[in-house]
A and B are shown apart, each in its own frame.
Chain A
Amino acid sequence: MLRLVLACALGRLAGRLSRLLGRGGSALPGLVAEKICPRLIEELAAPVRRGVVVVTGTNGKTTTTKMLVAMLEGEGLKVVANRTGSNLARGIASRLIEVASWRGRIDADLAVFEVDEAAVRPLAPRLRPQVLVVTNMARDQLDRFGELAATAAHAAAAVKHAGEVVLNADDPLVAEMATGAATARFFGAAGPIRRNMPHDSSLYGAEAGEAPRPVLDLSLERADPDGDGQVIELSAATGERAVARLQVPGPYNGYNAAAAVLAATECGVPFGRAAAALEATRPAFGRGQVVDFRGRRVKLLLVKNPAGFNQAIRLLAALPPGAPVLMAINDLDADGRDVSWLWDARVEDLAGSGHHFGTAGIRACDMALRLKYAGLEAWSETDFAAALGRFVAGVPEGETGYLVPTYTAMLRFLDLLRPGASKREAWS
């Protein structure tokens, strides 16, 4: 008890000092506090009245978490969440400390945490989630995890520590995790959407959308583009149906919405109200977010791996010809040091799009080379400010330009688009 109080106090102090020094990053308080009280996460999370929900997977964690939190808060529940995407143990510890009283008590109905797909293995037994959501498993940052099978094994090991699991039935690596679970619920999509959302093993043209899958508890029936977002229709196994307009585009966000609604209903939110809450959920940091800049609209499409890149490519390919597109590739730890994945993305699908391409970031030339071998010309500029200037100059006033960055490239651009934005985001 005393140790916990001390850990919280010193953690908070570390956070304040770090902010005074103008440093971003929400990990320090947790890092400090966990040194003092190694069972900090267990002790702070255990008293949360209705338990913990964990969202993991390679893509869609942040968006799914954001949607789920909106649904729960819409019910008047008090929710603790790591909204900044700081999804390792220290990030979660930091968030818990931030909301704890000086005596180390947390007053909350529910905690919702997005957790990194490798960190989920050690964290699941500590958080003992009521509900564990697994969005999907695609190849991502293989320099960090070694292999996709290893990544999937981490999530599969976490499953047995959860009260129940909410799984993507259309992703075989995720669906098979049900074997280790106490109770499993499945979300998925109707045929045409499913065929457009190939899972990892079908990245290379093997049949998608045909393999047998578990019976769905919630199905994404329709996902039609609408402005910056889309209109989706969800149907539950109970026979209930709902239509909602999402502020985020792409069938993958339809899947995220289905995951969030199913998780929310498992937490006791009525289906219709969960679906309605989707409409007010704003895009998460860089995931379809639109930033106004010098009279233009810059739409951010964060990419981290071939599956995510293919989703961005599908969006871009559907635009009228002539769209200015800037692809920005960094290779820092948070991006993945190996840029080989650019060759797994279906960049060829952009041939004939008539868009204007530029490339930026530490590995701008790798991206330009990928475009060249897809038959597309692109300029490249490693300096971020120069690249942004050149990109924006190609966007007519009042029109939209598309920025497709990896994670750290996105932070650099956000600081240029909205000075101080990445730091604010890290602390908000």
Chain B
Amino acid sequence: MSDLVIAHLYPYEMNIYGDTGNVIALRRRLEWRGLEARVDLVPVGADYDLAGADVVFGGGGQDRSQLEVADDLQRRRDAVHEAVAAGTVFLTICGTYQLFGRRFLTQDGQEIPGIGVFAMDTIGGRRRMIGNVVVATPWGDLVGFENHSGRTLLDAGQPALGRVKKGFGNNETRREEGAVTANCFGTYLHGSLLPKNPGFADSLLLRALRRRHGEGFELAPLDDSLERRAAQAASRRP
């Protein structure tokens, strides 16, 4: 039996910008500690019980696939809310992150309904926000690459993932990035995010492992010097 079950939402539809690297990172960081993960692929239309997953991951996609995914996600709305309430760990990036908000208003006025896990709206814009990003968070500085035209506005009571030190983040005015509700995380950071931010990756794993195997569960430390050097190099790039 595996120590952790990772559900990869929409692996075929939402897979742009190397987000699959996050699943690779989670799996490897468990393996290096003698733990084993099972990765379940959950494409559009799949019959899948989210209650059986410890970590749920969803990446960024192109506009074309985002519509298809938005429909499918509506079907899973209640199941996602229940899983979030039960403390399941979620990592949602870019396109999936946007759909975890209330709605996405596209540039031509079309409204794509989200599932409202995060109290936020996203509004399509003309200018794309592109470049390397550094975000200060409780897990240290996170480094990634953003590429989005949607501007995400959090409600007053919705906690962000962190404060933007470099780049844009949720939008170009408020200097906040991402969103957090219980163990559900949303962010615009590609890169891939987790390989270069091992502290954050381990924090996600630890939350999931403790939930499944008990509060006393610990993760053995790893040598993350290469990860840190890569993050440092990225944080200096435009």
Task: Please give the residue numbers on chain A whose beta carbons come within 8 Å of chain B beta carbons, in ascending order.
Answer: 139, 142-143, 146-149, 201, 203-206, 331, 337-344, 362-366, 368-370, 372-375, 380, 382
Contacts and interface: CB of A to CB of B under 8 A. Distances in A.
Contacts of A143: 130-131, 145, 147
Contacts of B229: 365, 380
Contacts, number: 99
B24 interface: yes
Given A203-B15, A369-B196, A337 B62 contact: no
B190 to A, nearest CB: 5
A139 B147 CA distance: 14
A337 to B, nearest CB: 7
B48 interface: no
17 contacts: A139-B16, A143-B131, A143-B147, A147-B62, A204-B12, A204-B15, A206-B12, A337-B130, A338-B17, A338-B190, A339-B145, A342-B21, A343-B20, A343-B195, A362-B237, A380-B229, A382-B233
Interface size class of B (residues with CB under 8 A): 35 or more
Contacts of A368: 226, 230
B227 A340 contact: no
A380 B228 CA distance: 14
Shortest beta-carbon contacts, A-B, top 7: A343-B21, A343-B18, A340-B18, A365-B230, A340-B17, A147-B62, A365-B229
Contacts of B130: 143, 337-338
Contacts of A366: 196, 230, 233-234
Given A149-B62, A149-B63, A331-B237, A343 B192 contact: yes
A331 B131 CA distance: 11
A147 B63 contact: yes
A344 B62 CA distance: 15
* Residue from A139, A338, A344 with most neighbouring chain B CB atoms (10 Å): A338
A148 B226 contact: no
B226 to A, nearest CB: 6
Contact of A373 (B17, B19, B21): B21
Contacts of B17: 142, 338, 340-341
Nearest to B64: A149
Contacts of A206: 12
A204 B21 contact: no
A204 B20 contact: yes
A143 B128 CA distance: 9
Contact of B11 (A142, A204, A370): A204
B13 to A, nearest CB: 9
A373 B237 contact: no
B114 interface: no
B16 A362 contact: no
A307 B25 CA distance: 21
* Residue from B17, B25, B229, B233 with most neighbouring chain A CB atoms (10 Å): B233
